[in-house]
Amino acid sequence: MSASAATSLVEPQSPTELAPASAAEDAAPPRPAAVLKGGPRGLEFLIDGTAPIAAVAAALCTRLAEAPAFFRGSSVCVRVEDGPLAPGCLARIDEIATRFELSIVEVGASRPARPERDASAAVSAPVSAPAAPVEDTATPQGSAAHPAGSGAVAAELAAALPAGDTRIVVGPVRSGVILEHHGNLVVVGDVNPGAEVRAERNIIVLGRLRGIAHAGIGRDHGFILALKLEPQQLRIARQVARAGDADGPVAAAEIAYVTSNTIVVERYAGKLPLGLANSM
Amino acid sequence: MGRAIVITSGKGGVGKTTAAANLGSALAQLGKSVVLVDADIGLRNLDVVMGLENRIVYHVVDVVRGKCTPAKALIKDRRMDNLWLLPASQTDDKDALTPADMAKLVCELKSNHDFVIIDCPAGIEQGFKNAIAGADEAIVVATPEVSSIRDADRVIGLLAASDIPARLIVNRISPHLVKRGDMLSQADVIEILALELLGTVPLDEHIVATTNKGVPAVIENKSLAAKEFTRISRRLAGLDLEAADTAPGFFARLGRALGLSPAPTT
């Protein structure tokens, strides 16, 4: 499902969406509407969220056309500065990316300035901002990140993606980091003690889960699956369980889910327990 | 242009200052020109550990405020010609320095020296932000204790957020305690922190003695810990190109020689 997430971003563009943007086209933006940046994780499009769609498209096309062969096949992270992105803009960017044979692997707000990020990372209360340094890691497959400040982008994505969309994060998720997602959350790597992963649907950790995990937020079911389930605390929907003092390490992958108002943990036998498959 | 390396840990008392003093001295012994910068404003320590306390005239805040030039504030080590210390001030004004000040200062020092070693204060507040502001790379010091590892993990996350690559020193490993199962092993620490290992420094009484004397242990270079600090500094200077994780630490090698620890699985 996640592999198709990137392609499902393509939305038919309605003429009405374009109308206000082209009207504003003549106003020269004080800074470039779109900037291409190379990073260690691939190409980045820095989009000025306040710029009209046409200006963004023109800036991207101009830069990409300078060296189409050089960019071809790259993975792209789209970062929106001063969002929200105008409606339909994302579809336009995707269209351009497709034309230049680029694949968009991540969409999100641009990185905030360093001090701000440190400050937000220090907040321990559950926040809507997942202040995670790992979150902007380019994901290996199509997935969508929704950092804070990109409310409208998130809304647009939410409309474009199936309800249970999945976010893939490359770990380790370190102490003090709170990762939050409204769909399924997959962590490729460890979740360290002191870290917290939160999802409105399910959580899958391809590594050791040693922090706190909360699945099924605002719902009545969900599961947490980890290759090594050694959490400080598990929360699923409205239930809370903490690691028993006597629990020894288990070598196998385990799954935790709610049944008759209690969290049960059992060895993961290669398929989801009855009734959970629909919750993905 | 030199390299600026910040030595940090999150938790206090794990050996940041000792590591800074020893690595700085060991790099100087290798013929590199080194400046130690004490970024622990308000609680200066590095000058004491280096035995240079009574020579302080100017300090880092004086330099930032333009009261003197960086060159004038540097204290030359009396044992080595190519080792300098920029001491911290004792001011309790936590806003005496800003990250921008530090970045500028460190950049200036880098232009004249091979290594700028920054001793970071404990914690992740303003002092930490100042200390990492000018750093090109970081060394995270962790002791094999759960609290130290937890804090180191947090700090590694913050360093990654600032795009500063970090490597790890596991400090104060005691082979007896590890063997008895009372102490986390080097492998346990690395497993959680998932960071490249620069070296493992054993718990060593000699370090306590030399630190109190104001002589970095590497200058006498008798103790096991001093030898490990020297090895780490060679690796930092690019003289030993073997990667830390393929080269077993001292105790891994010792343990294997004695048949105590298993051979690496790689």
Per residue in A114-150, pLDDT tens? 333 333 333 333 333 333 434 433 333 333 343 434 4
Reading the block at residue B32, the tokens are 């590199």
More confident residue, A269 or B264: A269
More confident residue, A236 or A245: A236
DSSP line for A176-218: T-EEEESSEEEEES-B-TT-EEEESS-EEEEEEE-SEEEESTT
Per-residue pLDDT tens for B75-99? 999 999 999 999 999 877 878 899 9
How many angstroms separate the Cα of B64 from the Cα of each of B39, B86, B106, B113? 12, 12, 11, 19
Q: Are B161 and A133 a contacting pair at CB < 8 A? A: yes
Q: pLDDT confidence of A67, banded at 50, 70, 90?
A: confident
Sheet bearing A34-39, strands edge to edge: A34-39, A42-48, A75-81, A103-109
Say if CB B9 and CB B141 are below 8 A apart: yes
pLDDT of residue A16: 38
Q: pLDDT confidence of A109, banded at 50, 70, 90?
A: low
Per-residue pLDDT tens for B19-72? 999 999 999 999 999 999 999 988 889 999 999 988 999 999 999 999 999 999
pLDDT of residue B116: 97
Chain B residues touching A177 at Cβ < 8 A: 157
pLDDT of residue A147: 40
For residue B123, give the nearest of B153, B155, B96 by alpha carbon. Answer: B155
How many angstroms separate the Cα of A197 from the Cα of each of A6, A107, A130? 23, 20, 9
pLDDT of residue A41: 60
Q: Which of B150, B156, B160 sits opposite A193 (nearest CB)?
A: B150
Question: By the CB < 8 Å criterion, does B83 face chain A?
Answer: no
Checking if the pLDDT of A25 tops 90, the result is no
Minimum distance, in Å, between the CA of residue A118 and any CA atom of chain B: 7
A 124-153 residues with CB < 8 A to B = 132-134
Chain A residues touching B194 at Cβ < 8 A: 172, 189-190
Q: Which of A122, A189, A190 sits opposite B124 (nearest CB)?
A: A122
Per-residue pLDDT tens for B110-165? 999 999 999 999 999 999 999 999 999 999 999 999 999 999 999 999 999 999 99
Q: Which residue of A192, A196, A212 to mutate against B (max B Cβ within 10 Å)?
A: A192
Which residue from A minimizes the CA distance to B161? A133
pLDDT of residue A82: 72
Q: pLDDT confidence of B261, banded at 50, 70, 90?
A: low
Q: How are beta strands B34-38 and B115-119 bridged, if at all?
A: parallel
Chain B residues touching A197 at Cβ < 8 A: none
Say if CB A111 and CB A128 are below 8 A apart: no
Q: Are A133 and B194 a contacting pair at CB < 8 A? A: no
More confident residue, A111 or B42: B42
Q: What is the arithmetic mean of pLDDT over A60-77? A: 77
Average pLDDT, chain A: 71
Number of Cβ pairs < 8 A linking chain A and chain B: 50
Place of tokens 């940090």: B8
Looking at residue B96, its amino acid is A
Per-residue pLDDT tens for B156-191? 999 999 999 999 999 999 999 999 989 999 999 999
Checking if the pLDDT of A71 tops 80, the result is no
How many angstroms separate the Cα of B84 from the Cα of each of B34, B252, B263? 6, 34, 42
Which residue from B minimizes the CA distance to A122? B124
DSSP, collapsed to helix, strand or coil, labels residue A74 as: coil
Question: By the CB < 8 Å criterion, does A179 face chain B?
Answer: no
Distance CA B243, CA B234 (A): 12
Q: pLDDT confidence of B254, banded at 50, 70, 90?
A: low
In this structure, of A41-45, A255-259, B123-127, B199-203, the range with the lowest mean pLDDT score is A41-45
Chain A residues touching B192 at Cβ < 8 A: 190, 192-193, 210
Chain A residues touching B161 at Cβ < 8 A: 114, 117-118, 121, 133
Backbone φ, ψ for residue A203 (5° rounding): -125, 130
Q: What is the arithmetic mean of pLDDT over A166-177? A: 92
Buried b (16+ CB within 10 A) or exposed e, A216-249: bbeeebbbbbbbbbbbbebbbbebebeeeeeeee
pLDDT of residue A129: 36
pLDDT of residue B190: 93
